């Protein structure tokens, strides 16, 4: 990128984290401007002029504005194809795209649970509702536990876009209390691999740094 692109993002938002991970994995010079979600900065006049839906993330690459997470992924892969985060062969690319769009199911069930946990006061949390919402997440995690039992990455032999999506949602769930090691050993191993990557270290939410990677620590022998 001749001039640094900018990404408007909200910290701890999995979709925003996915895009930040992609920019880091591709080694693209960029500036991340974090918005205050509680203050409504994502719906400011400046932001609505860029994205009338008022959602984040929003990528600005020169005069080009791209919003919607998967659209940003598509744009980055087309405009900056190396290093590739989608395989080049038809068979592997087809599987990689399938896994990426499957991750939308993880988004739907994950965000329903995350929103409830984050937006409800602790005293008002209903354990039955938490269990109900978590049951859908566990059903979805079953698929990914299987996929990561087949290989280190969701598709092919290298990290791809689907892995960035899965990690953002699983790491958020783990931060909110999901226990991975016993129930999802393959996902646990995947997260351990991811947390060593410079892209994850560079973008790890600052508000989580009081307990960095605590849920991903290897068990004591």
Per-residue pLDDT of the chain (221 residues; tens, 9 = 90+): 335 578 888 888 999 999 999 999 999 999 888 888 888 888 899 889 999 999 999 999 988 999 999 999 999 999 999 999 999 888 899 999 999 999 999 999 998 998 888 888 888 889 999 899 999 999 999 999 999 999 999 988 899 999 999 999 999 999 888 899 999 999 999 999 999 999 999 999 988 876 544 333 333 33
Nearest residue to 118 via CA among 167, 175, 165, 43: 175
Buried residues in 88-112 as b, exposed as e (16+ CB within 10 A): eeeebbebbbebbebbeebbebbbe
Q: Chain-centre distance of CA 200, in angstroms?
A: 10
The dihedral over CA atoms of 74, 80, 84, 87, expressed in degrees to the nearest 10, equals: 50
Whole-model pTM above 0.95?
Answer: no
């Amino acid at each position: 990128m001749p001039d640094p692109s900018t990404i408007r993002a909200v910290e701890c938002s999995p979709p925003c984290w996915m895009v930040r991970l992609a920019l880091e994995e591709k080694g693209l010079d960029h500036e991340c401007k974090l918005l205050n979600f509680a203050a409504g900065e994502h719906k400011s006049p400046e932001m609505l002029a860029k994205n009338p839906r008022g959602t984040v993330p929003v990528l600005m690459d020169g005069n080009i504005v791209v919003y919607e997470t998967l659209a940003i992924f598509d744009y980055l892969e087309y405009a900056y194809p190396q290093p590739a985060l989608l395989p080049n062969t038809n068979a592997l690319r087809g599987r990689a795209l399938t896994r990426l769009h499957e991750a939308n199911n993880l988004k739907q069930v994950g965000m329903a649970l995350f929103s409830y946990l984050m937006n409800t006061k602790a005293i008002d949390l209903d354990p039955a509702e938490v269990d109900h919402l978590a049951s859908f997440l566990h059903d979805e995690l079953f698929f990914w536990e299987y996929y990561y039992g087949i290989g280190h990455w969701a598709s092919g032999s290298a990290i791809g876009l689907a892995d960035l999506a899965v990690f953002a949602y699983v790491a958020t769930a783990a931060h909110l209390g999901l226990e991975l090691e016993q129930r999802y050993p393959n996902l646990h191993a995947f997260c351990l691999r991811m947390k060593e990557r410079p892209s994850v270290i560079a973008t790890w939410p600052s508000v989580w740094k009081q307990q960095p990677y605590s849920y991903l620590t290897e068990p004591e022998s």
